[in-house]
Structure 1
């Protein structure tokens, strides 16, 4: 973790700056510079891992100034999250980096599911060895990226896009829910896009089109 927090991980961006790599693009999405933030948090495969974890974190690029600042939110002395979750975050970051490195070496696509399995096993083993499994009740105050229903009378629409470099395929999805969290309307489709960024732009475009179908409803 100290290498990530100190900005010295050997990402493509870092290697390129030292003239040790031919380019600085992420080896998986090939659409963004592989910075520490991109590799651990923002690449499509990394974002799937955070959302699929017990933390169900939705990583918003607009809220990421640096990996160190993001990480400090969780490990600060006044952070309301548990020690178990702090150890889970650290271990998940390590497994993302480890899987990324192995996948690059083997020229293979990373497996998000395997990262989650390995992380759960490692964290539980750590606490078992220390003969103490702490309370893992999670605070909603810090995990404010988890989906929440809108206020009464408001329809909330969410969209997302994903791109698979291995399969050269992209897809988008949109879902609308009311204040009780009940499903109102949804839409999904395989689209013509060559990057995760473009697929998300197409998802936003379709979201605006879908929003027009709710007439006078208040939207979020």
Structure 2
């Protein structure tokens, strides 16, 4: 269990016995900021960043116990069961057992492959050891010969079936992928897939198309094997390769025409404005956050009126615990900027559904982890005459995204009241709305 104000014990190992008073002296409750001047010489940079990442909310609210292994922060017997088994597997792995742990990156990248949904599920089944190879069937005590029925030489594991069987080697040899599997260094499917996604490609488009074609090839190898088992049709490597290539090409041309012909997003400009102005007398506040795994973050805010004219903006660099906390901090910065400019009726747009629903009181999808920021946003909301909250897709939030990109490269806050930087002007103009000219 953790509390919402949980502080890593490794940070305050040398804190005196009056720890609550000590912690209170290094935080500014009014500004909701940490003041570490007294102890900065005692800490390394990682510890400083860990402290600065902790949000300071309204201290009048009592602490609340949350269960971090559930998205809503509430304990369930199912999550406890899975946690116990996960810890047991880790313990077995540390004890030198034969358990194999799949890298989380593999699970994430499998669901990001641009391919048919059934092929993504097929790839997931391979990694999950749920593919009905003869070796897996024998392990589940099914009375079947574990030897590969196609070569009658090796046991039919998923690695043998998809990579090492002689007829599959012929498929790869005839392919134009310019990629070869080394049997001596080949270990498991997930290790191979991890090395695949870490390969260097000329562009993200090339990598995406390559993974699409690989996924179709694996699928058609499996289908050819199943036709041999159930229909007695011996697979022909050239025919299997041609069918896989044709299916992948048709999929890319039908579902992703801009990707298949190599058109970049820069070349496909929208014909209509992506951003829409608010009602007369209102101001629209667009916010966005940019976050890196080293906890470096950038906040971006853009304010425009009912005529679409630029009325203010900011870019700020800071340290945040997560991408979600960055998005919430960006919303809070937007409210502070609008309040300082005396805008009393605002419509706040964010491209984070979790933050938007969290402000409304829905703390699912780990919104409980940013509850102090959400409560501060709710407090700030009472200082305006009217506030409306909207979620928008990312392509309608490009100006704030550009400001956040500027913020992640800055050290201090940069505020623009009437003249944004040239890079931001170009994005604002592309929305089809008025913007100050570049000076």
1:117 aligned residue: 242
Residue 131 in 1 paired to residue 257 in 2? yes
CA distance in 1 between counterparts of 2:148 and 2:224 reads 14
Partner of residue 61 from structure 1, selected from 155, 158, 183: 183
Query: What is the Cα deviation at residue 25 of structure 1?
Result: 0.3
1:48 aligned residue: 170
Query: What is the Cα deviation at residue 22 of structure 1?
Result: 2.3
Distance change in 2, residues 1:99/1:63 (3 Å): same
Which structure is larger by alpha-carbon Rg, 1 or 2? 2
CA distance in 1 between counterparts of 2:143 and 2:161 reads 16
- Aligned-partner SS, 2:229: helix
Query: What is the Cα deviation at residue 56 of structure 1?
Result: 3.8
Query: What is the Cα deviation at residue 79 of structure 1?
Result: 4.2
Distance change in 2, residues 1:11/1:134 (3 Å): farther
2:140 aligned residue: 18
- Aligned-partner SS, 1:96: helix
2:232 aligned residue: 107
Is the contact between residue 73 and residue 79 of structure 1 (CA under 8 Å) also seen in structure 2? no
Alignment of 1:1-220 (within 5 A): 1-76=123-198, 79-80=200-201, 82-129=207-254, 130-132=256-258, 133=260
CA distance in 2 between counterparts of 1:75 and 1:108 reads 33
The answer for unaligned runs of 5 or more in structure 2 is: 1-122, 263-439
CA distance in 1 between counterparts of 2:145 and 2:192 reads 26
Query: What is the Cα deviation at residue 134 of structure 1?
Result: 5.3
Query: What is the Cα deviation at residue 108 of structure 1?
Result: 3.0
CA distance in 2 between counterparts of 1:44 and 1:134 reads 34
Query: What is the Cα deviation at residue 21 of structure 1?
Result: 3.7
Distance change in 2, residues 1:134/1:36 (3 Å): farther
The answer for unaligned runs of 5 or more in structure 1 is: 136-220
Query: What is the Cα deviation at residue 60 of structure 1?
Result: 1.9
Is the contact between residue 84 and residue 134 of structure 1 (CA under 8 Å) also seen in structure 2? no
CA distance in 2 between counterparts of 1:108 and 1:95 reads 14
Query: What is the Cα deviation at residue 57 of structure 1?
Result: 3.2
**How many residues matched?**
134
- Aligned-partner SS, 1:94: helix
Structure 1 runs, 4 residues or longer, greater than 3 Å off? none
Deviates more, 1:115-124 or 1:28-37: 115-124
